[in-house]
């Protein structure tokens, strides 16, 4: 009986203490795995410590696709999270769901939290703004593909570790030198569609689709089967035969190839730097993307990837203040610079970029400003402002599929890319039909 | 699983169990019926409904389009490829699973003392969740860091299921079969042990060797079990292998490992086209329903042996 009373007292004390805690919980779903997730948690913890009214609860929900699907399912079940991280290719779908999302510029205005879209890097802000220039989602982790190369393996192959390849011709000759000393593969890539087709097109001032890659209208048509893209795919197919280029799968499946030293170089996201530092002992250099120097207009500038934060409708109005305050906190220069320096993602505000420069970070860590330099390499043309195409998650999967068909020799590069355009345009028309 | 075994046993021996009143049966049946209604019938009806509509991903609006989704599916050349792949994948997986399970059962049946250890160890894979099994095989066969992939490279065989369709297909067949062998093994073992020893003794007295005894007595007497397992395995390969495909090859390379169930996931959850995905679910449901119907009718006809 004595023990029973003790347990009852303990249990009631617990319940009483939790009801005294009137903090509002803000749920934040994200796709930042591993070490990156720890950085997100630190930002959330610091925000929580800085004020007592709101508590950000971070939840790692899986891959970008899984997070987006879960958020949609949760919304349909009337239990959405407050904040959800959606990758850039989901932007069109999210923007079209006007009844489900709470545009960020409206949120900040309603909650009377200061917010000016001019504070943000133009390449980043415009990607997530509507045609009137109002920001609909909050940029969180913006990246762009860059070239990583294993300096130790370069030295081993007799290559100058401070002189990375600039053109695809260089990529070929460097790869052959690496292979000459026993390294199995020259280079690989992550996110094949994003890096070898979308960004490839922008960087060479070629259109991904008409209508400014979809930014100017829903009636865009894909143009990924242009002569330069076909030429590049043919090169990839040829290089695969000797493993000058070695395909490592979709998404970021190719990471082990670079981490293990199987491939001497990889084309990967600016945000991959953190994973590389964490997982590799070798010294790694970062440089601009390779290009074809006989292509007119190359190198132009690359376009951003990554994700932004969307606020879901359907929650209690007093809770939204927490989301607004969290965005305000995240945009502070010192928080932003910390996030940029730790992860490799580009700083999303001008102030953060300036602060990082003043701190001498780029001198101490050569290569960390490559991403931002590449994004700002040239004033963007109609082919390199970004992209906004509907059903793009599916279209990317089609590009990956047809790339794999071409690499296996099941289709010629021209057939594969023509198929991408045909199948992709069907999806674009379906999206157009249901959103006009 | 236990219900399946006991049903088989009860039917084979012709026993019947009856209850006096109506309350007891209802009380016993209610939990299972509720679960079946909530988790199977209700979602199936929802699928049927959704397949006739065109919805935006968030469910903010929908438009009735009748059988348009179905027409779109049947006109899609790619869908035929997916169906053919699913059939060949399922038949291959079923054949491998049942052959190996029968072999293990025959071998385990002969053991007297240590058979329990073998039985326990052979049943373990069944307890592994399909997603975990998929990740397990992903690690073993990863072209860069997988133990089995590296082992194969010693013989000059470059394993890369990211690039080679055949490798990817082999991978999902192995991963799917591995899990099901245990289930089949249990049924075959039970089946073997219900064969009267006197029959086999009589045969060996008549001069039949092991292989002939197996061919003429054992295997024919295992036909009800075999038929039941064929249907069960086919249904497993059609429906329960989603997790294995998702964790290993994600339907690639190209679409060479995109089975029907995987395409349902792709169209529904990645492409967010719920109408099209539901229509495919309905088609798959009818296919599986037809298989199950065949099973019930055939088993009923082959009760008495």
Please give the Cα distance from B1 to B123 (Å, whole number): 13
Question: pLDDT tens digits, residue range B233-255?
Answer: 999 999 989 988 988 888 878 88
A408 interface with B at CB cutoff 8 Å? yes
Interface test with B, best of A61, A71, A72, A184 (most B CBs within 10 A): A72
Residue B168 CA to residue B161 CA, distance in Å, equals 4
Who has greater pLDDT, B25 or A147?
A: A147
Q: Looking at the predicted structure, is the pLDDT value of residue A176 above 50?
A: yes
Q: List CB contacts of B13: < 8 A, sequence separation 6 or more.
A: none
A371, part of any domain: no
Whether A297 and A216 map to the same domain: the answer is yes
Name the pairing type of β-strands A54-60 and A138-143: unpaired
Query: Same domain for A316 and A429?
Result: no
Residues 6+ apart with CB under 8 A from A317: none
Question: Are residues A120 and A23 located together in one domain of the fold?
Answer: yes
Interface test with B, best of A434, A435, A436 (most B CBs within 10 A): A434
Flag whether A399 is in a domain: yes
d(CA A245, CA A233): 11
The long-range contacts involving B145-149, CB below 8 angstroms and separated by at least 24 positions, are B145/A256, B145/A260
If asked whether residues A119 and A164 sit together in one domain, one would say no
| H/E segment holding residue A267 | strand A263-269
pLDDT bracket for residue B6 (50, 70, 90): very low
Q: Which residues contact A233 (CB under 8 A, 6 or more apart)?
A: A403, A406, A413, A416, A417
d(CA A143, CA A136): 19
Longest dimension (CA), chain B: 76
In contact, A192 and A399? CB cutoff 8 Å: yes
Is a pLDDT exceeding 60 seen at residue B13?
no
Which of A98, A135, A131 is closest to A214 using CA atoms?
A: A131
Do A112 and A181 fall within a single domain?
no
Answer yes or no: is A59 within a domain.
yes
Question: Cα Rg for chain A, rounded, in angstroms?
Answer: 23
Mean local confidence (pLDDT), B29-47: 92
Closest-CA distance of chain A to residue B278, Å: 15
On whether the CB atoms of residues A414 and A230 are closer than 8 A, the answer is yes
- As a whole number, mean pLDDT of residues A315-322 equals 91
Instruction: Answer yes or no: are the C-beta atoms of B231 and B223 closer than 8 Å.
Output: no
Tally C-beta pairs within 8 A across A and B: 79
pLDDT at position A19, please?
45
Would you say B190 and B123 are in contact if contact means Cβ atoms under 8 Å apart?
A: no
Q: For residue A401, which residues of chain B lie inside 8 Å, CB to CB?
A: 252-255
Q: Span A46-70, mean pLDDT?
A: 93
Question: Are A287 and A329 members of one domain?
Answer: no
Q: Which domain holds residue A425?
A: 145-302+386-434
Q: Is residue B143 included in any domain, yes or no?
A: yes
State mean pLDDT over A182-186.
Answer: 95
Cα-flanking dihedrals φ and ψ of residue B160, to 5°?
Answer: -150, 95
Shared-domain flag, residues A18 and A99: yes
Specify the pLDDT at position A215. Answer: 87
Residue A380 within any structural domain of the chain: no
**B183: nearest Cα among B110, B237, B247, B139:** B237
Q: How sure is the predictor about B132, in pLDDT bands with cuts at 50, 70 and 90?
A: confident
In which domain, by residue range, is B168 found?
67-301
User: Of B10-19, B160-169, B208-217, B231-240, where does mean pLDDT reach its minimum?
Assistant: B10-19
8 A C-beta contact, residue A302 and residue A375: yes
DSSP B54: E
Q: Residue B85 pLDDT > 80, yes or no?
A: yes
Do A187 and A136 share a structural domain?
Answer: no
Residue A21: pLDDT band (50, 70, 90) is low
Is it the case that residue B31 has pLDDT exceeding 60? yes
What is the structure's pLDDT at A338? 95
The A residues from 124 to 163 touching B (CB cutoff 8 Å) are none
Is A365 inside a domain boundary?
no
Total Cβ atoms within 10 A of residue A93 = 21
In this structure, is residue B110 part of a structural domain? Answer: yes
CA distance A266 to B279: 41
Distances in Å between the Cα of A88 and the Cα atoms of A143, A306, A420, A436 are 10, 6, 20, 22
Give the C-alpha separation, A270 to A256, whole Å.
17
Given a cut of 80, is residue A291 above it in pLDDT? yes
A101 within domain boundaries: yes
Partner residue facing B252 (CB), from A100, A250, A391: A250
CA distance B171 to B159: 10
Residues A123 and A257 reside in one and the same domain: no
How do residues A373-397 score in pLDDT, each as one tens digit?
999 898 888 899 889 998 898 899 9
Phi, psi for B228 (deg, rounded to 5): -60, -45
Per the CB < 8 A criterion, the answer to whether A93 and A390 are in contact is yes
Q: What is the DSSP letter of B162?
A: T
Q: Indicate whether B128 belongs to any domain.
A: yes
pLDDT at A44 over 90: yes
Beta strands at A284-287 and A83-87: parallel, antiparallel or unpaired: unpaired
**Does residue A249 sit within a domain?**
yes
Whether residues A8 and A151 share a domain: the answer is: no
Selection from A250, A245, A207 nearest residue A228 by Cα: A207
Rounded CA-CA distance A118/A140 in Å is 16
- Tokens matching residue B212: 């002939």
Residue B55 near residue B61 (C-beta atoms within 8 A): yes
Position B202 in a domain: yes
Total tally of structural domains belonging to chain A: 2
Q: Are residues A283 and A412 in the same domain?
A: yes
Helix orientation angle between A333-343 and A34-50, rounded to the nearest 10 degrees: 170
Residue B5 lies in a domain: no
Compute the mean pLDDT over every residue in chain A, rounded to the nearest whole number.
91
Q: What is the CATH number of the domain that holds A45?
A: 3.40.190.10
Same-domain check for residues A6 and A70: yes
- How far apart are the CA of B163 and the nearest CA of chain A, in angstroms? 7
Q: Give exposure, A184-218, as e/b (b: 16+ Cβ within 10 Å).
A: bbbbbbbbbbbbbbbbbbbbbbbbbbebbbbbeeb
Shortest CA gap A122–chain B (Å): 30
Q: Is A65 on the interface with B (CB under 8 A)?
A: yes
Which residue of chain B has the CA closest to A424?
A: B271
3-class secondary-structure state, position A186:
strand
Residue B175 is assigned to a structural domain of this protein: yes
- Collapsing DSSP states into helix, strand and coil, what is residue B115? helix
Contact status, residue A68 vs residue A40, Cβ threshold 8 Å: no
Identify the CA nearest to A405 among candidates A395, A393, A417: A417
Residue of A nearest to B58 (CA): A72
Best of B50, B56, B57 to substitute, by most chain A Cβ atoms within 10 angstroms, is B57
Residue A121 has pLDDT above 60, yes or no: yes
Residue B8 CA, distance from chain mean position = 19
Option in A65, A72, A402 nearest B58 (CB)? A72
Judged by phi (left if over 0) then psi (alpha if -120 to 50, else beta), residue A344 lies in: left
- Domain count of the fold of chain B: 1
C-beta separation of B244 from B250 below 8 A: no
C-alpha distance from residue B106 to each of A263, B93, B102, B218, B230 (Å): 48, 20, 6, 10, 18
Cβ atoms of B86 and B257 closer than 8 Å: no
Task: Say if A376 falls within a structural domain.
Answer: no
Tens-place pLDDT, residues A338-366? 999 999 899 999 999 999 999 999 999 98
Q: Do A76 and B58 touch (CB under 8 A)?
A: yes
CATH number at residue B272: 1.10.3720.10
Q: Which of A153, A164, A172 is nearest to A287 (CA)?
A: A164
pLDDT of residue B34: 95
Chain A residues in contact with B271 (beta carbon < 8 A): 391, 393-394, 397, 427
Partner residue facing A391 (CB), from B145, B164, B271 = B271
Model pLDDT, residue A208: 95
The two three-digit tokens of residue A166, written as one number = 């600039």
- Banded model confidence at residue A154, pLDDT cuts 50, 70, 90: very high
Residue B164 belongs to a domain: yes
Q: Does residue B96 lie in a domain region?
A: yes
């Amino acid at each position: 009986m004595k023990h029973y009373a003790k347990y009852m007292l303990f249990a009631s004390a617990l319940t009483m203490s939790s009801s005294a805690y009137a903090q509002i919980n803000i749920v934040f779903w994200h796709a930042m795995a591993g070490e990156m997730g720890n950085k997100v948690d630190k930002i959330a913890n610091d925000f929580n410590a800085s004020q007592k009214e709101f508590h950000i609860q971070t939840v790692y929900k899986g891959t970008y696709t899984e997070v987006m699907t879960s958020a949609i399912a949760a919304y349909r079940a009337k239990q959405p999270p407050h904040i959800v991280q959606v990758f850039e290719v989901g932007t069109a779908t999210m923007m079209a769901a006007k009844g489900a999302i709470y545009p960020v510029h409206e949120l900040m205005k309603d909650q009377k939290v200061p917010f000016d879209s001019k504070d943000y890097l133009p390449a980043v802000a415009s990607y997530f703004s509507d045609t009137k220039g109002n920001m609909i989602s909050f940029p969180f982790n913006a990246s762009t593909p860059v070239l990583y190369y294993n300096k130790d393996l370069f030295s081993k192959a007799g290559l100058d570790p401070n002189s990375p390849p600039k053109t695809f011709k260089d990529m070929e000759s460097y790869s052959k030198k690496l292979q000459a000393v026993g390294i199995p593969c020259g280079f690989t890539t992550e996110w094949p569609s994003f890096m070898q087709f979308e960004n490839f097109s922008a960087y060479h001032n070629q259109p991904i689709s008409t209508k400014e890659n979809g930014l100017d209208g829903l009636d865009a048509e894909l143009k990924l089967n242009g002569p330069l893209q076909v030429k590049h795919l043919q090169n990839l197919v040829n290089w695969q035969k000797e493993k000058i280029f070695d395909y490592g799968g979709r998404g970021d499946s190719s990471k082990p190839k670079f981490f293990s030293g199987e491939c001497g170089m990889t084309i990967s996201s600016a945000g991959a730097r953190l994973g590389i530092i964490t997982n590799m002992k070798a010294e790694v250099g970062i440089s601009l993307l390779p290009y074809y120097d006989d292509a007119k207009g190359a190198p132009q500038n690359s376009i951003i990837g990554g994700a932004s934060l969307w606020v879901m409708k359907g929650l209690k109005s007093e809770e939204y203040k927490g989301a607004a305050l969290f965005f305000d906190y995240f945009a502070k220069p010192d928080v932003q610079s910390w996030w940029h320096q730790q992860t490799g993602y580009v700083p999303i505000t001008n102030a953060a970029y300036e602060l990082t420069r003043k701190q001498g970070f780029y001198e101490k860590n050569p290569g960390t400003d490559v991403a931002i330099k590449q994004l700002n390499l040239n004033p963007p043309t109609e082919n390199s402002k970004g992209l906004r195409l509907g059903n793009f998650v599916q279209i990317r999967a089609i590009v990956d599929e047809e790339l794999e068909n071409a690499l296996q020799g099941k289709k010629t590069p021209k057939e594969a890319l023509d198929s991408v355009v045909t199948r992709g345009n069907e999806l674009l028309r379906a999206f157009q039909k249901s959103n006009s | 699983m236990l219900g399946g075994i006991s049903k088989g046993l009860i039917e084979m021996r012709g026993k019947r169990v009856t209850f006096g009143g109506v309350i007891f049966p209802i009380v016993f049946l209610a939990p299972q019926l509720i679960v079946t209604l909530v988790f199977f019938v209700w979602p199936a009806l929802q699928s049927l409904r959704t397949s006739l509509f065109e919805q935006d991903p968030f469910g903010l609006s929908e438009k009735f389009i009748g059988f348009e989704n179905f027409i779109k599916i049947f006109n899609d050349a790619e869908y035929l490829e997916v169906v053919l792949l699913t059939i060949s994948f399922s038949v291959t997986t079923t054949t491998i699973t049942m052959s190996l399970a029968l072999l293990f059962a025959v071998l385990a049946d002969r053991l007297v003392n240590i058979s329990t250890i073998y039985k326990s160890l052979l049943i373990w894979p069944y307890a592994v969740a399909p997603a975990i099994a998929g990740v397990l095989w992903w690690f073993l066969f990863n072209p860069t860091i997988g133990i089995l992939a590296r082992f194969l490279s010693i013989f000059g065989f470059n394993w890369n299921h990211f690039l080679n369709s055949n490798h990817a297909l082999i991978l999902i067949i192995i991963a799917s079969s591995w899990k099901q062998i245990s289930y089949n093994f249990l049924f075959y073992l039970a089946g073997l042990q219900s064969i009267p020893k006197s029959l086999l003794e009589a045969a060996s007295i008549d001069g039949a060797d092991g292989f002939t005894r197996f061919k003429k007595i054992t295997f024919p007497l295992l036909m009800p079990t075999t038929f039941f397992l064929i249907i069960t395995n086919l249904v497993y390969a059609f429906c329960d292998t989603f997790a294995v495909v998702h964790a290993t090859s994600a339907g690639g390379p190209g679409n060479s490992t995109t089975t029907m169930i995987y395409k349902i996931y792709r169209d529904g959850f990645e492409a967010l086209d719920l109408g099209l995905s539901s229509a495919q679910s309905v088609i798959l449901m009818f296919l599986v329903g037809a298989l199950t119907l065949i099973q019930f009718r055939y088993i009923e006809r082959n009760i008495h042996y």
